[in-house]
Structure 1
Amino acid sequence: MAAAAMRAPTAVLLLAVLLPFAAAPSRAATLATSPSASTSTAAFQLHGDVYPTGHYYITMNIGDPAKPYFLDVDTGSDLTWLQCDAPCQSCNKVPHPLYRPAPKKLVPCADSLCTALHSGLGSGNRCPSPKQCDYRIKYTDSATSQGVLIADNFSLPLSKSSTVRPSLTFGCGYDQQVGKNGEKPAVTDGLLGLGRGSVSLLSQLKQQGITKNVLGHCLSTNGGGFLFFGDGIVPTSRVTWVPMARSTSGNYYSPGSGTLYFDKRSLGLKPMEVVFDSGSTYTYFTAQPYQAVVSALKGGLSKSLKQVPGDELPLCWKGQKAFKSVFDVKKEFKSLHLSFATGKNAVMEIPPENYLIVTKIGNVCLGILDATVAKLSFSIIGDITMLDQMVIYDNEKAQLGWVRGPCSRSAKSILSSIP
């Protein structure tokens, strides 16, 4: 998918063709241990970056025997899926050999997760055959994934050096249309759906009593970071918490409406609906906030910066010499702030390093884009704005939280620090 892609699905479901499988499905879970959901935390090392990769992803071991796959971390959609050989009708070039499903792993149409998936996509339960659950998801960057639901074992590293291998339901995608990317090789093998729906991996882990319905991620400015399921490493202090609001645009993680400030001054705008989405590389503001931010930024820049045609993003500037990092040019720009009325003193600071990138040729570009161009009716806080802060999605307490700090710790050190 495109580096600036938002992988939050629109409400689209079409029938897929019938796969040549005929065996009865099996969804039996196999656990190597029997952890307590109240204490278990699974942690993963993140790879990738905002620029130039445009993705943050983990390595997930799936199958029996387990094989590694790179999955794009996406809190903006529910379904986890792998490109798979079922056989494949249209697949990208991916980092690992395509996942090969066994007929006995098929999830039947009558399965509750199939029903929930179809319902969440805004169309009824439609399957060409009762033996399998077909799906087709369309994402906001025009990419699509079509396939069937499969249940197979996932290897999850837990605290206290234990491992669980639950059988989890995910998509076997045999027809991928990747929007603007054409035939460009994919960075990942598939997508890790961590949204609020019941088909989300996080919801399935909660249902099976493995971890609490809590996740967090810490994306490092230097690339990498960590992702965790469960509440074992959620800080007990300094976190800014906001109640989860019901998004008017879908089942997204939303802190409600935020009022935008530039350099601590009001921009005179109405509050805008905000969604947190790790599947979006960049941040998107709806039309009026976007134009107001662009005007405010341009008005405060020194003459040493010259606006140039965007080589990577729409709005870029050139300095007297090439910039090596955002910190070379940070002093030229001011911080933004988002204030959320639903939380007590809930303000998210967005300093220049959380909305700017420096390109390969040394220009600085605005990593906030116009949501209207992307046909979005709400604003998105994407990866660039979540850099170097732990963001926590607590479905148990229906709240979102964030706390600033370096994200360079290893997943292994995090797990070993849990008592």
Structure 2
Amino acid sequence: MAVKSRGILLFLLLSSIFSTSFSDTDQILNSKKPTPSTSVHSLASSFAFQIKGNVYPIGYYTVNLAIGNPPKLYDLDIDTGSDLTWLQCDAPCRGCTIPKNRLYKPRGNVVKCVDPLCTGVQSAPPCAVANEQCDYEVDYADHGSSLGVLVRDYIPVKFTNGSLARPILGFGCGYDQTHPGQNPPPTTAGVLGLGNGKTSIVSQLHSLGLIRNVIGHCLSGRGGGFLFFGDQFIPQSGVVWTPILQSSSVQHYKTGPADLLFDGKPTSVKGLELIFDSGSSYTYFNSRAHKALVDLITNDIKGKPLIRATADSSLPICWKGPKAFKSLHDVTGNFKPLVLSFTKSKNSLLQVPPEAYLIVTKHGNVCLGILDGTEIGLGNINIIGDIFLQDKIVIYDNEKRQIGWASAKCGGPSKS
């Protein structure tokens, strides 16, 4: 009850902030003379963005970020699974699918190889010639990629105390994007990289002394939510914390080990290391863990009015009932809750009720939102995606090297 109450208070606080901050976006966009900002704000400063999107059917969550001078709004896919923020570049490009008026146009602001930021996207030495442009390439777990050049530009932000900062930050101008699979590429202008590496926006803002090195999000199961930078929105109580593990290669929010519980009972799935990745709509387990979970669910729903819906290609494993399901409320009573128990953290449990691992498709079937990562080339990597993180405030504290979560009201559209 205390956690739920705290979530309501947090939502009311953010509603107040949004009503004052986002109503004057035009004022920010029309600002004529932005100036660089350095350490002029308290480290307690924070700012927030409204989120749009959902797990299904859209498949991603986005925020609008103002960039440039004068600022222009770009919608970006929020991604804690990668560091670099990038926009579709107004240059000869491949994989650019959005209208030309939504492309970012560089104006003599390309980052050079000699710039320290370049080492965040290239191995040292970054380039053969120091005065060359700093190129980048980002590869994603779903085998998508972005290739381009680093640039720096104004990214104005409005703090919760009403003050406005206009830091100059580095990001990618991407001219060669690849989109795997048969699905159409996202219609967003780019990706907002929220990982904990050197090139991430949060790291750059922290290095300027503008915020604590903390971010968080609250993704509503009904769609929408909010994203925040800084530590102002961390609930005072009710947060479950677990350490961030040192990743061997890229800067991921990796945690674990964790054991899987099914209906409150131990399972054979133990010792999972997990990456929190808001850029992934669904959760991915390695083949062994995935098969064990599917067997548990399949055996548990025997005798219930559910049969496999093999004709529904929305996700690999779907079921249909005697009549089409209209919402998760129609079906969740047939499924058991899951829990991830983080064994090195006392009482650190990630509660996953059926509505946080199932979706109802446009065909009226219910599908499992936990997929086999080994089948798509993830090997033994396990990813906690958006579906598990719905209706929770999730905090990534890079200073204390820990991730926390608590149940919360995340906003989003009203129920019909």
TM-score range, shorter chain: 0.7 to 0.9
Q: Say yes or no: does 1:79 pair with 2:84.
A: yes
> How many Å separate the matches in 2 of 1:159 and 1:33?
18
RMSD of aligned alpha carbons: 1.9
Q: CA deviation at 1:344?
A: 1.4
**Matches for 1:324-403 after TM superposition, within 5 Å:** 324-376=326-378, 377-403=380-406
> How many Å separate the matches in 1 of 2:176 and 2:368?
34
Instruction: Return the letter of the residue paired with 2:381.
Output: F
Q: CA deviation at 1:108?
A: 0.5
Instruction: Return the letter of the residue paired with 1:52.
Output: P
Q: Determine helix, strand or coil for the equivalent of 1:161.
A: coil
The alpha-carbon distance between structure 1 residues 316 and 347, as it changes in their structure 2 partners (threshold 3 A), is same
Match for residue 56 of structure 2? Answer: 51
**Matches for 1:95-110 after TM superposition, within 5 Å:** 97-103=102-108, 105-110=109-114
Instruction: Return the letter of the residue paired with 2:62.
Output: Y
1:251-282 alpha-carbon deviations (Å, 9 max, x no partner): 21022211111111111233111110001110
> How many Å separate the matches in 1 of 2:245 and 2:260?
18
Match for residue 163 of structure 2? Answer: 162
Alignment check: 8 A CA contact 1:254 1:276 kept: yes
> How many Å separate the matches in 2 of 1:278 and 1:60?
17
Instruction: Return the letter of the residue paired with 1:116.
Output: G
**Matches for 1:268-279 after TM superposition, within 5 Å:** 268-279=268-279
1:103-143 alpha-carbon deviations (Å, 9 max, x no partner): 2x011001111012213xxx752367723101122222221
> How many Å separate the matches in 2 of 1:114 and 1:196?
16
Bigger Cα displacement from structure 2, 158-167 vs 246-255: 246-255
Taking structure 1 as the reference length, the TM-score comes to 0.86
Q: Determine helix, strand or coil for the equivalent of 2:161.
A: helix
Match for residue 120 of structure 2? Answer: 116
Bigger Cα displacement from structure 2, 314-323 vs 369-378: 369-378
1:194-225 alpha-carbon deviations (Å, 9 max, x no partner): 10111000000000111110000000011100
Q: CA deviation at 1:145?
A: 0.7
Q: CA deviation at 1:32?
A: 6.4
Q: Determine helix, strand or coil for the equivalent of 1:118.
A: coil
Match for residue 320 of structure 2? Answer: 318
Instruction: Return the letter of the residue paired with 1:136.
Output: E
1:8-36 alpha-carbon deviations (Å, 9 max, x no partner): xxxxxxxxxxxxxxxxxxxxx93469642
Q: CA deviation at 1:148?
A: 0.4
Q: Determine helix, strand or coil for the equivalent of 1:291.
A: helix
The alpha-carbon distance between structure 1 residues 266 and 96, as it changes in their structure 2 partners (threshold 3 A), is farther
5+ unaligned residues in a row in structure 1: which ranges?
1-28, 411-419
Alignment check: 8 A CA contact 1:93 1:185 kept: no
> How many Å separate the matches in 2 of 1:217 and 1:80?
17
> How many Å separate the matches in 2 of 1:129 and 1:348?
47
**Matches for 1:55-204 after TM superposition, within 5 Å:** 55-93=60-98, 97-103=102-108, 105-119=109-123, 125-126=126-127, 130-181=131-182, 184=184, 186-204=186-204
1:152-175 alpha-carbon deviations (Å, 9 max, x no partner): 000212111122111000000011
Bigger Cα displacement from structure 2, 79-88 vs 352-361: 79-88
Alignment check: 8 A CA contact 2:320 2:364 kept: yes
Q: Say yes or no: does 1:224 pair with 2:227.
A: no
Q: CA deviation at 1:335?
A: 0.6
Alignment check: 8 A CA contact 1:324 1:358 kept: yes
Aligned residues: 377
Alignment check: 8 A CA contact 1:282 1:382 kept: yes
Alignment check: 8 A CA contact 1:94 1:186 kept: no
Match for residue 17 of structure 1? Answer: none
5+ unaligned residues in a row in structure 2: which ranges?
1-33
Alignment check: 8 A CA contact 2:39 2:208 kept: no
Taking structure 2 as the reference length, the TM-score comes to 0.87
Match for residue 13 of structure 1? Answer: none
Alignment check: 8 A CA contact 1:40 1:232 kept: yes
> How many Å separate the matches in 2 of 1:47 and 1:92?
20
Q: Determine helix, strand or coil for the equivalent of 1:179.
A: coil
> How many Å separate the matches in 1 of 2:341 and 2:411?
27
